[in-house]
Amino acid sequence: MSVENVLVVGGGISGTVAAVALAQKGVRATLVEISPEWYGVGHGITVQGNALRVFNEIGALDKMLESGLGFDNLTLFHADGSVINAMDAPKMGGADLPSTMGALRSDLQEVLVGMIHDLGVEVRLGTSMEKFEDKGDSVDVKFNDGSVENFDLVIAADGIKSNTRKMLGSKHDKKGTGLGIWRVVTKRTQDMTCSAVCYFGDEYKAGYTPISEDLCYAYVLTKPERPDNGLSDAQEMKRLLSSYHGHFDFIRENIREDDYMNFQPIEWLFIEDEPWHQGRVIAIGDAVHACPPLIAQGAAQCAEDAYVLADYITRDGDMEQLLTEFTKVRKERVKIVVDASMQLVEWEIHPETPGANPGMLMGQAMGALTAPAF
């Protein structure tokens, strides 16, 4: 085995899956997270089948499905509430798994954190990597408390705002897409049993995903700035959803001031023309490819990165070659998602574009992702 002692920087999906997968292979993993408290963001998440395959491989999926909701369909609505199309969602994780799962991010995080503790992974909160020095066959890492330790490898899973990306010398940084997203976790009806996307309203589009027996995660794509109109978040989200009907009437009427909701501009990043590693420090997940959520593949690509990397770095062989091969394989797959997502962003903003066909493009991208990542 090429590594025995690995540092994982970042406690999101990429970092936690990497730490779990490595520990299950007998690697001593240490995870550092800059936040002094470790908790998942409270909004909902749509998790596609290829992510579920990763969670199943590490033994997390059954526990996640106890609080989340799996399903196999997707419905497209007109803003007036009429159905445009109801379809089976692609089985990107294989025939034996749900096509999609709706869940709270915090519930997924709770399962992964529980596994990390059960596996004996050392976790240090309020800790960050300040600098590193590659030693050829290991890495010296200086932490924010001034201490220095040596590791066989460092996995930087520190997100779209990654400090490690800058340490690796990348010229890339996150960029705006021209879209913003409002999210809320609120009540749902019993017949809202799968993900839905609603078109032809006043905003770019709206959608929802059921995340439990009585809750859904709803969203609306809009402009990237939060208007200063004197409205509370709940009032603003109701305003943005006012032209969407059918199930959205129920969602809108049930939004409360104390529901979890947030707004953020949608940003993106893809490091395609640079290596993801320098020596024995490699960046993965949103640190090198943050995808707009238009085909709900962000979490899936992060989870795949982590699981596939754990396999590569525990093989026998030259580490430089292993990391180079890993990056090549992952860039090819991530590019499918980034290219499709950014084209969909362009068509959302400019729907009059000749030849624009979002449904066809989404189908092509998801069809390509049915090919297993490992």
Is the pLDDT confidence value at 272 over 70? yes
Is 267 exposed, middle or buried, given 0-12, 13-18 or 19+ CB atoms closer than 10 A?
Answer: middle
DSSP 8-state class, residue 103: E
Mean pLDDT, rounded, of the chain: 95
Average pLDDT for residues 331-336, to the nearest whole number? 98
By DSSP bridging, strand 289-290 and strand 260-270 are: antiparallel
Closest CA to 203 of 221, 186, 188: 221
H-type helices in the chain, by residue range? 13-24, 49-57, 61-67, 105-118, 163-167, 233-240, 247-254, 298-313, 319-349, 358-368
- 342: how many CB neighbours lie within 10 A of its CB? 16
Angle, vertex CA 323, rays to CA 320 and CA 324, nearest 5: 80
Q: For residue 37, what pLDDT is reported?
A: 86
Structure tokens at 312: 């590569």
Q: For residue 40, what pLDDT is reported?
A: 63
- Chain position carrying tokens 């995080």: 109
- 134: how many CB neighbours lie within 10 A of its CB? 14
- The CA distance from 46 to 73, in Å, is 13
Q: For residue 38, what pLDDT is reported?
A: 79
Angle, vertex CA 106, rays to CA 100 and CA 111, nearest 5: 80
DSSP 8-state class, residue 293: G
Is the pLDDT confidence value at 41 over 70? no
* Chain mean position to CA 181: 15
Average pLDDT for residues 335-345, to the nearest whole number? 97
Q: Give me the residues paired with residue 28 across strands.
A: 5
Is the pLDDT confidence value at 1 over 80? no
The proportion of the chain whose per-residue pLDDT surpasses 70, expressed as a percent, equals 99
How does pLDDT run across 58-104, given as a tens digit for each residue?
999 999 999 999 999 999 999 999 999 999 999 999 999 999 999 99
Closest CA to 299 of 104, 86, 69: 104
User: 359 falls in which pLDDT band (50, 70, 90)?
Assistant: confident
Phi, psi for 265 (deg, rounded to 5): -65, 145
Average pLDDT for residues 213-223, to the nearest whole number? 96
Is the pLDDT confidence value at 313 over 70? yes
